Amino acid sequence: MSDSDTSIQETETKPVVENQQELPKFEKDHSDKITAKFGSKSEIAFVKPDRIRVNVKKEDILDVASFLRDELNYDHAESVTGVDFPADKEIEVVYHLGSYTDPQLSRQVLSLATRAPREDNPNPGNDSTKLPSLRDIFYSVEFHERECFEMLGVFFEGHPDNRRLLLPEDWADLPPLRKDFAIKGR
């Protein structure tokens, strides 16, 4: 009885594992286009149903973003997220890109991620934590990048308006979404 049970389980679990390894076709073709164009400059971090993630170096992000807009029809950014990684001494910025104009892409959200160096004693705007702004390529990132600047201290070079957005004007502490800014009592 127990032998037959295990054999059934094995046959049941096997095709599931194969399905997981088989990447979704549309997304795979799509990510292959990026790899064909940029080769080792772009790293495809994952390909899931409706979601692709591309990691690039900050020197290449303008080229990759222009390619995504002009050749692959992504036309707007849904959000810009900064994630702090103190152990790597880096801050990651993730752009979630979508498309309204291309009906094939209406389900897709492409994450374009890059990393900026992180300093332990930040001086937002005047230290090495800088990235090129994508505002000239995706106009919609304007307010998102302003939020990212004040919350994580990532200065976007080429952004026309690097002012505070949500925080008080006289905020003089660390950028609050960095991991070393602790909430009292927690």
Partner 1 sequence: MTARLPPGLQLEKVDDRIMTLNVGPQHPGSGHMRLIIKVDGDYIVSCDPDPGYVHRGEEKMAEYRNYITNIPHLERPVIHDSCNILYPYCLGVEELLGLEVPERAKYVRVIASELNRFTYTLYWLGIYGIFLGHSTMFMWPMGDREFAIDLLEKLTGARVTHSYFVPGGVRNDAPANFEDVCLRQINYLEKRLKTYADIFYDNPILIARTEKTGVLSREDAIRLGTTGTVLRASGVDYDVRTKEPYDVYDELDVHTNVLKNGDSYDRSKTPWLDMLESCNIIRQALEKMPKSGSVRVKLKPNPKGGNDEVYKRVESGRGSLGVYIVSRSKPEPYRVKLSVGSFRNLICMPYLLKGEKLGNMPAVYWSLNYWPVEADR
List of residues contacting partner 1 (CB under 8 A): 50-51, 53, 75-79, 81, 83-84, 94, 96, 100-101, 106-107, 109, 111, 138-144, 147, 163-170, 176-177, 181, 183, 186
**Residue 8 is encoded by which pair of tokens?**
């059934």
Q: How far is the CB of 2 from partner 1 (least distance, A)?
A: 26
Helix (H) or strand (E) holding 13: helix 2-21
Residue nearer to partner 1 on the CB measure, 46 or 57:
46
Q: How far is the CB of 35 from partner 1 (least distance, A)?
A: 20
Residue nearer to partner 1 on the CB measure, 7 or 86:
86
Residues 6+ apart with CB under 8 A from 125: 149, 153, 155, 162
Residue nearer to partner 1 on the CB measure, 29 or 50:
50
Residue nearer to partner 1 on the CB measure, 8 or 45:
45
Q: How far is the CB of 78 from partner 1 (least distance, A)?
A: 5
Residue nearer to partner 1 on the CB measure, 34 or 110:
110
Contact in structure between 8 and 50 (CB atoms under 8 Å): no
* 15 φ/ψ angles, rounded to the nearest 5 degrees: -65, -30
* Dihedral Cα 145, 165, 79, 122, nearest 10 deg: 50
Q: How far is the CB of 184 from partner 1 (least distance, A)?
A: 11
Q: How far is the CB of 81 from partner 1 (least distance, A)?
A: 4
The vertex-94 CA angle with 80 and 40, nearest 5°, equals: 145
Largest CA distance in the chain: 72
